[in-house]
């Protein structure tokens, strides 16, 4: 399979020494679709969220794609959320039957936000603000993981707007199913 722009799905059978491209997540839209976060759903479907931005615009969004054949073919599931100026990549984790999406928001008030899906990504909750005290839009790139205590740990880079300093910050998120 010939490499092309956009996100691809790859498989390894030797512990990561080599990879075989299964398929391409999207058709490289005008602008870009990059920095994927993926999870396998209980149905076996792979859900991938990507950081997107169109040509000639300064607003980004997170787009959802799904594959039911282990990454060979993909279907767009639409935009999940706008992420503000220049966009931000998604952090995605499956937790207690829910999907948790964490992302940096790069318009005022700058910060870290999240949405939750209880139906394998078909719909998403209203936005929850984790924190909104960012000094500028230069923040985000979250990574998320489940903790041993049943919470979610979100780690990201952040700034307070005091000079040029950026730092690694974290938030612990406790979720309840409504």
Q: For the residues 84-97, what does the mean pLDDT come to?
A: 89
Domain borders along the chain are: 8-173
Look at residue 60 and tell me whether its pLDDT is greater than 70. Answer: yes
Would you state the pLDDT for residue 178?
63
Rounded-to-integer distance, Cα 152 and Cα 145, Å? 6
Give residue-wise pLDDT tens across range 145-162.
999 888 999 999 999 988
Would you state the pLDDT for residue 29?
59
Q: For the residues 25-47, what does the mean pLDDT come to?
A: 86
Would you state the pLDDT for residue 5?
59
Model confidence at 2, in pLDDT bands (50, 70, 90)?
low
The top-level CATH class assigned to 8-173 is: mainly beta
Q: CB of 132 within 8 A of CB of 139?
A: no
Contacts of 137 (CB under 8 A, 6+ apart): 84, 85, 86, 106, 107, 110
Contacts of 16 (CB under 8 A, 6+ apart): none
Rounded-to-integer distance, Cα 127 and Cα 75, Å? 24
Q: What is the mean pLDDT of the chain?
A: 90
Rounded-to-integer distance, Cα 9 and Cα 38, Å? 10
């Amino acid at each position: 399979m010939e490499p092309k722009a956009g996100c691809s799905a790859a498989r390894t059978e030797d512990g990561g020494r080599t990879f075989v491209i299964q398929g391409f997540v999207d058709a490289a839209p005008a602008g870009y679709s990059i920095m994927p976060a993926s999870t396998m759903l209980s149905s076996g479907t792979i859900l991938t969220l990507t950081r997107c931005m169109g040509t000639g615009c300064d607003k980004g969004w997170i787009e959802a794609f799904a594959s039911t054949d282990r990454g060979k073919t993909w279907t767009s599931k639409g935009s999940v959320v706008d992420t503000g100026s220049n966009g931000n990549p998604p952090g995605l984790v499956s937790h207690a039957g829910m999907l948790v999406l964490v992302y940096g928001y790069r318009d005022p008030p700058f910060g870290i936000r999240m949405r939750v899906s209880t139906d394998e990504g078909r719909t998403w909750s209203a936005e929850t603000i984790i924190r909104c005290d960012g000094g500028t839009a230069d923040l985000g790139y979250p990574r998320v993981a489940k903790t041993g205590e049943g919470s979610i740990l979100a780690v990201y880079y952040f700034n307070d707007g005091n000079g040029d300093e950026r730092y690694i910050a974290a938030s612990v998120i406790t979720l309840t199913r409504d």
